[in-house]
Amino acid sequence: MAVLNTDPLVFGKPISLHVQPKSKLEPPVLSILTPSKSSDVLKVCLAAGFAPKEGVMKLTLPGNKPPIHHNISNAVLSKKGVYYFAGFSKDDIEKCQFQDKETSKPAEAASTCDPSNITNSNSSPTYEITDDPKRNTMTLIVTGLRLLLAKAVAVNVMMTIKAFLI
C-alpha cells in the first residue's frame, strides 16, 4: 500500500459565525446558591436574564483568598433572548459581582432550605403547556392508543356477553 504525501487544500481564512439576539440591555439578576449542609458541593453564583453577553463575573471569597474571575463567553441563550450563566467555586462565596450588579451571601437562616418543611396546599394536578411539537405529538398518539384500547376492550366484552346469551 502506497502512502500518498499530499497537503490539505486550504482556501483562505476560516469563517466563524456568531449569532447575537436583537435584545435591549437587560440587567442580570444575581443569586448565590449554597447547599443547606456544608459539604464538598460547589457553591454557585447564578446570573439570570441578562443581555448583552459581555463582561466578567467576579466571586469574592472569605478571608484573604483571591477573587475568582469567570469569563461569561459561554453563557447560555434562552428562548426569550436573554442569557444565563453560573459561576462556580469550591469555597464559600461572600459576594458576587457582574456588570453593574452585586449581591452578597444571604444570612444563614435565609440561605438554608429544608425540603421536609415545604407543604403543597394545592392538591389539584398541574398541567404544563409546551410548544414542543414532538411532545405534543407523542401525547396525542398515546391518548389515541388509550382510546383505541378502551374501544377494543368494550367490543370484546359485548361479544363475550352475546356469545353466552345465545
Cell of 131: 410548544
**pLDDT tens readout for residues 39-77:** 678 889 999 998 888 889 999 998 889 999 999 988 988
The predicted structure's pLDDT at residue 127? 60
Same domain, 100 and 34: yes
**pLDDT tens readout for residues 78-124:** 888 889 999 999 888 899 999 888 888 765 544 444 555 555 555 55
Same domain, 96 and 164: no
49: left (phi over 0), alpha (psi -120 to 50) or beta: left
The predicted structure's pLDDT at residue 57? 94
The predicted structure's pLDDT at residue 111? 44
Same domain, 90 and 140: no
Same domain, 73 and 141: no
Domain count along the chain = 2
Which regions of the chain does DSSP assign to beta strands (E)? 29-33, 43-50, 56-60, 68-71, 76-77, 83-89, 95-98, 101-104
Strand ranges across the sheet with 76-77: 29-33, 43-50, 83-89, 76-77
The predicted structure's pLDDT at residue 110? 45
Is 50 exceeded by the pLDDT of residue 16?
A: yes
Same domain, 100 and 138: no
The predicted structure's pLDDT at residue 104? 86
Which range marks the domain in which residue 145 is found?
133-166
| CA contacts within 13 A on the Cβ side of 41 | 9
The predicted structure's pLDDT at residue 34? 80
Please check whether residue 17 lies inside any domain of the structure.
Answer: no
The predicted structure's pLDDT at residue 136? 80
Q: Is the pTM of this model over 0.85?
A: no
Same domain, 44 and 94: yes
Please check whether residue 126 lies inside any domain of the structure.
Answer: no
Same domain, 33 and 71: yes
